[in-house]
Amino acid sequence: MSDDAATTGKPLFTPFNVIAGIIVVLGLIVTVLRFTAGLDAVTNLSDYNPWGIWIGFDLLVGVALAAGGFVTSAAVYLFGMKKYHSAVRPAILTGFLGYALVVIALNYDVGRPWRLPYPFIIQQGTTSLLFEVAACVALYLTVLFVEFSPAAMEWLGLKRARKLVVRLTILLTIFGVVLSTLHQSSLGALFLIAPAKLHPLWYSPYIPVFFFISAIIAGLSMVIFESTLSHRFFADKMDEAHLKEKDTVALGFGKAASLVLAGYFIIKVIGISESNNWHLLPTNYGLWFLVELLGFIALPSFLYAVGVRDKNIKLIKWTAAWTVLGIAINRLNISLIAFNWHLPASERYFPHWMEIVITVFLVTLGILAFRFIVTRMPILYSHPDYEDH
């Protein structure tokens, strides 16, 4: 923060810096308490509810919203959509930070975090779905780090190393798409073993497909959302190409999101039909399910289509924010709200305030890291020494 103030000439004690500083201090205090006093001191987790907000939000929502990296790189490098090239580095940076924070959050949730690497070293549990998820997330985090590294190498002046990594772009993109397809769907498959715990309207044999398709939607919407915030707060760091292509990215990704949302709506209805759960729609949970289905899937699909047709960039940007919220609600519905739905209210899980503090702390760290990087490295502009490449 002090470096930012020194380089930009802005005051150090801005409202953002003060609030972020308070959150970081509280987060560090709770972190010490978590790792010295155990889970019971800072969480409301139990045998009935072993997965709380650290899994529901920090992992499931975080992984979905970090999907912009593989979606954007696939569009540009595999499908040849070069007009979206300005969105690649911001999307990869967002994805890299998102996955890094997911791994950090897992250390809070695991009872003995030092045993996190055990499946790779000691217990070769290759038949476990969790092992597949862990392996893919770890490998994809590595891929994202390598994909992000050219920006850091340009900043550090490591020309030879950058040249080597750039040659691997296509291979890294393919590897990233394969890994993302595997673990995005596998996160949904984790809930296939809980048909008695997850509400029938959200439980479906198609849930791995639901998770993968909704991750694509989240990635497309998150690129628009992140681009909107970057143009709002970091416009001075952007070159002419990034400033010119902002509307192109919004229109292109908005169109794609509208089409994918329409397909997602259709398969969600097919899922209800296949399970024959129409009779559950008039219930309280059914009404909430309709809010998700109509308000966060059908509605944004329509709004995206209208925005693209009318070239209404403002509508597309607001729809992207609404869609990101909808993906977060969907993941929380599956992991928390509609999970253990049959238990009495007294036994239902609600996060401890310290759990919420840790979640806000991790999100704040991600924002601070993003700001630190984009204000120093060539993320939102092309480095003058490498423009020809």
Residue among 47, 112, 31 nearest 349 (CA): 47
| Contact status, residue 76 vs residue 248, Cβ threshold 8 Å | no
Give pTM, 2 decimals.
Answer: 0.91
CA distance 281 to 163: 56
Backbone angles phi, psi at 365, to 5 degrees: -60, -40
CA pair distance 266, 201, nearest whole angstrom: 15
**pLDDT per position as a tens digit, 59-99:** 999 999 999 999 999 999 999 888 898 899 999 999 999 99
What confidence score (pLDDT) does residue 13 get?
Answer: 80
* Residue-level length of the chain: 389
Q: How confident is the model at residue 387 (pLDDT cuts 50, 70, 90)?
A: low
Tell me what pLDDT residue 6 has: 47
Residue 32 has pLDDT above 90, yes or no: yes
Identity (one letter) of the amino acid at 188? G
Q: Higher-confidence residue: 5 or 75?
A: 75
- Give 60's contacts (C-beta < 8 A, 6+ positions apart): 187, 331, 332, 334, 335
The pLDDT of residue 2: 47
For the record, the structure tokens of 116 come out as: 């996190």
Question: 2-380 belongs to which CATH class?
Answer: mainly alpha
Pairwise pLDDT comparison (5 vs 346), residue with the higher score = 346
* Sequence spans of domains, the chain: 2-380
Which tokens sit at 171? 């291979």
Please check the confidence at residue 3 and state whether its pLDDT lies above 80.
no
